[in-house]
Structure 1
């Protein structure tokens, strides 16, 4: 079996990049403008059959921050009720596309279906910060609930686009109302809300949710003097990739890209109803889920409850499915969680 590609090590001899075993997806960022229609179709040739596309907001509206429902097919993006706002579109490739223009800079390898593409246009995601949160009920007898998790980054992320926040948990996780704090060029942290429900999910939901997170962006980190490795720069000498960074690997996708109605809804007094939706997940406790679009609210505009909170995560002891609900106080016009705006990820190097 022939292996082609690139391998780098640090000063201690530890491998920092091996393209024969580490697939890396490249990332193209762009923005689109809503035209106020109910359904808007936008031609984007860069979307290919095996692309993953995430549509995100560029705004901070607090806990009511919302992203539109979005679907995509090769060459086309569909947005539902995009209003007249500007939306962030992230196209994640498998590394098989040609370089975008003559004179592009980069590295491409193909090793027995392990693909790596790093270039000056389609950048890679780099892990910048990571940490943990303890939210939710603090024990069956404590009577205490920490409803919000609030994170401030050590320093702002300075990209125009919002950074991507990935979540994992020791076991049970049920969160929603996610948003990134700040504004384009100055993203300062994120917040999310605990939605644990012991009536629906048993006694585990009465205990703290131990959540792990990391923040990834295509903003390239600085390389300390004396570090070993390889880097890629664009024509303007801006660094687009460096092997000393910890990359967010995008190589573990769910088995399906859509949610179906499955599981029991959450019901309550006054006609409260949150429909249950599920999709197959990876089965691995090492995989993080992208929070940006999945756990943000949806705005359906022409109703008495226009802002709908999407909440969900992982059921106790089960990583074979991803569980989602849509908060719906009236039981009318329930929404379906958008499965085509998420993917699984994990850091290349352990924290």
Structure 2
């Protein structure tokens, strides 16, 4: 928030900072639709229109299309490396879950100089920190209240532990996948193969995850679900 000099604009309802001449807001960089276009419809590969050149990983949000069954959001990947993030991948969990399809946007705490008319601010380092044609993105809620629901083995013989949590998305809300790309901790040793399988049981309004390891079951998780939206 700007201190004594510069420009500050806040929302009237909750005094939330909307524009600040000193600090970059979270901005929407690209958006679109993702479809099942790989592996006979079991996987969806989305490439950004241009590489995102930040060192930190951009935040990728997806909104699976509403469906009458369980939506697979598994084996999530954000593609690229620091300085060149190129896209993301979503796969379904198994043959019984719905193929990946929906809407997406990618955001970060940078902005792009897009506006022909409007307003634009730069930092002291001459980096653009606000552009009126770059839509803001905001987090609207988060949760990490999980219920342990059981365990078993995958077809490859790995241990899998299941958790579920109440989950619902409004039509303009999106699910951030970055947390679900991160490795899970396997048991108390913290070693071995670790993978997160995510599924949205749309009719039951439950988000389900399976923590897959090769070194025993995981009985607790602190994984946080982040929900956001882009402001048009």
Normalised-by-shorter TM-score class: 0.7 to 0.9
Q: 2:81 matched to 1:183?
A: yes
- Residue number in structure 1 paired with 2:12: 111
Q: Tell me the C-alpha RMSD between the 2 structures.
A: 3.2
Task: After TM superposition, give the deviation of residue 286 of structure 1 in Å.
Answer: 2.8
Q: Which of residues 223, 226, 229 in structure 2 aligns to 1:339?
A: 223
1:259–1:336 Cα contact (<8 Å) kept:
no
- Residue number in structure 1 paired with 2:145: 259
What is the TM-score of this pair, normalised by structure 1?
0.55
2:57–2:85 Cα contact (<8 Å) kept:
yes
Q: Which of residues 31, 35, 41 in structure 2 aligns to 1:146?
A: 41
Residue deviations 1:312-345, cap 9 Å, x none? 14113244x3322211356x141644333x4111
Instruction: Name the count of aligned residue pairs.
Output: 229
Task: After TM superposition, give the deviation of residue 279 of structure 1 in Å.
Answer: 2.6
Residue deviations 1:201-227, cap 9 Å, x none? xxxx2x4332322111233122343x2
1:131–1:232 Cα change, 3 Å: same
* Structure 1, gaps ≥5 residues long: 1-97, 138-143, 199-204
DSSP 3-state at the match of 2:94: coil
Aligned partners of 1:182, 1:164: CA distance in 2, in Å?
13
DSSP 3-state at the match of 1:298: coil
Runs of 4+ that moved beyond 6 A:
none
Q: Where do residues 1-351 of structure 1 align in structure 2 (5 Å cutoff)?
A: 99=2, 103=5, 105-120=6-21, 122-135=23-36, 145-171=40-66, 172-196=70-94, 198=96, 205=97, 207-225=98-116, 227=117, 229-250=118-139, 252-254=140-142, 257-263=143-149, 265=151, 267-268=153-154, 272-298=158-184, 300=186, 306-319=192-205, 321-329=206-214, 332-334=216-218, 336-340=220-224, 342-349=225-232
Whichever of the two has the greater Rg, that structure is 1
* Structure 2, gaps ≥5 residues long: none
Task: After TM superposition, give the deviation of residue 185 of structure 1 in Å.
Answer: 1.6
Aligned partners of 1:294, 1:270: CA distance in 2, in Å?
21
What is the TM-score of this pair, normalised by structure 2?
0.80
Aligned partners of 1:304, 1:234: CA distance in 2, in Å?
42
